[in-house]
Amino acid sequence: MKSVILILTLFFCIRTLLSAENGVISGKLYNEQTNKPVAYANLIVKDSYLGASSDESGTFTIQLPAGKYILQIYHVVYYPKEIPVTVTPGQKVCLSIALEEKTEQLGVITVQAERNAAPSHFALKPYSVINAPAVGEPDVVRVAAMLPGIMQNNDYRAELNIRGGHADQTQFLLDGIEVFHPQHLQGMFGAFNLWAMENIDIYTARFPAEYAGRLSGIIALESKRPTKEAYTKANLSLLSMGLALTRQWGNTSLLFAARRTYLDLIARMLNSKISYNSTINLFYWCNFCCCSCKKCFICYIYLISCYSS
């Protein structure tokens, strides 16, 4: 028992002697301009692994053996700083350290971005309209209704409202000539034969100067021209049948396309009381003809005829 007491006594004596040889550095960090405490700064004793960090109130405490030291202070927002410190055994050194906030002079920063304007021009090809899902007859008007900014009043009339405008504010052009009634059967079907068309341009805003006269939108169609290659195409749908052909004789070429519905024939088969002179008009037909004549290497004469009923 006596040996245990002796060992404990020696331990506390040695600890007291060792602590008497150490000193303490404590202090507070603050902003030089605002006098606000600087929190989370790193304090390192130069050429050693000893150090500490300031708390939220900016205070810190470091226990060191007696001697002379250089205290280094680092913070991401403030300039680094070094302070010489002399530690006396058994004494406490109190410091009040002001830190200067970093100010960086930046050059001129220019932020540029391209305006992401909504598309106002759509270029379609007839084959994309023909291959689009449709009930009955392919129609450029119904395909245009799928584009942004364009809507169709209902499924029974081929009329378009472009960007909130009324249907009569949309201009239809065929080879630069205005088409006033581009529908068949009171607006159920479009009047344009897609087998005879080459390009379809739809403008919903910012019309070119050549297209004037409407407030809402422009749908401009360009017809095909006869080619040297002869071909014949026939198509049959739920509502109509059509034929398109191209022929060439010397310097003269011909493109002919026609289509006709057979709703009237089916109606008469279902109801024999409907006569051919009935006021119920269930059919439409249209044809397109383009004849070109080559006069010289750079001169062509085109005769275009389009009829729709």
Q: Which of 108, 34, 26 is nearest to 61 (CA)?
A: 26
> Does residue 273 share a domain with residue 242?
yes
CB 87 within 8 A of CB 26: no
> Does residue 244 share a domain with residue 202?
no
User: 290 is in which domain, residue-wise?
Assistant: 231-308
Judge whether 296 lies within some domain.
Answer: yes
| Angle at CA of residue 90, ends 85 and 96, nearest 5° | 40
pLDDT confidence of residue 49: 86
Helix (H, G, I), strand (E, B) or coil at 187: coil
Judge whether 127 lies within some domain.
Answer: yes
> Does residue 235 share a domain with residue 177?
no
> Does residue 152 share a domain with residue 93?
no
> Does residue 168 share a domain with residue 254?
no
Which domain-ending residue is among 173, 196, 223? Answer: 223
d(CA 35, CA 43): 19
Q: Which of 302, 126, 119 is nearest to 217 (CA)?
A: 119
d(CA 156, CA 27): 86
CB 39 within 8 A of CB 47: no
**Res. 124 pLDDT band, cuts 50 70 90:** confident
Judge whether 7 lies within some domain.
Answer: no
pLDDT confidence of residue 211: 74
- Give the mean pLDDT of 237-241: 77
> Does residue 185 share a domain with residue 92?
no
Domain count, the chain: 3
> Does residue 216 share a domain with residue 255?
no
Residue keyed to tokens 């409907």: 274
Judge whether 39 lies within some domain.
Answer: yes
**Res. 134 pLDDT band, cuts 50 70 90:** low
CATH code, domain carrying 192: 2.170.130.10
Judge whether 1 lies within some domain.
Answer: no
d(CA 81, CA 41): 11
CB 167 within 8 A of CB 151: no
User: What does residue 207 show for φ and ψ, rounded to 5 degrees?
Assistant: -70, 145
> Does residue 183 share a domain with residue 126?
yes
> Does residue 63 share a domain with residue 33?
yes
User: Would you call 152 exposed, middle or buried from its count of C-beta atoms within 10 A (0-12, 13-18, 19+)?
Assistant: middle
Q: How many helices (H) and strands (E) does the chain have?
A: 4, 21
> Does residue 156 share a domain with residue 127?
yes
**Res. 65 pLDDT band, cuts 50 70 90:** confident
CA atoms within 13 A on the CB side of 202: 23
Q: Which of 137, 183, 178 is nearest to 160 (CA)?
A: 183
Taking CA atoms, 84 is separated from 45, 79, 252, in Å, by 10, 17, 104
Judge whether 176 lies within some domain.
Answer: yes
- pTM of the complete model: 0.54
CB 213 within 8 A of CB 165: no
> Does residue 265 share a domain with residue 194?
no
CATH code, domain carrying 64: 2.60.40.1120
Q: Which of 163, 180, 161 is nearest to 171 (CA)?
A: 180
> Does residue 218 share a domain with residue 151?
yes
Judge whether 49 lies within some domain.
Answer: yes
Tens of pLDDT, residue by residue over 166-223, are: 777 888 888 888 888 777 666 666 778 888 888 888 888 877 777 766 678 888 888 8
Tens of pLDDT, residue by residue over 271-303, are: 665 555 554 566 677 778 888 887 665 566 667
* Distant-in-sequence, close-in-space partners of 290: CB < 8 Å, separation ≥ 6: 196, 223, 224, 225, 226, 254, 255, 302, 303, 304, 305
Judge whether 110 lies within some domain.
Answer: no
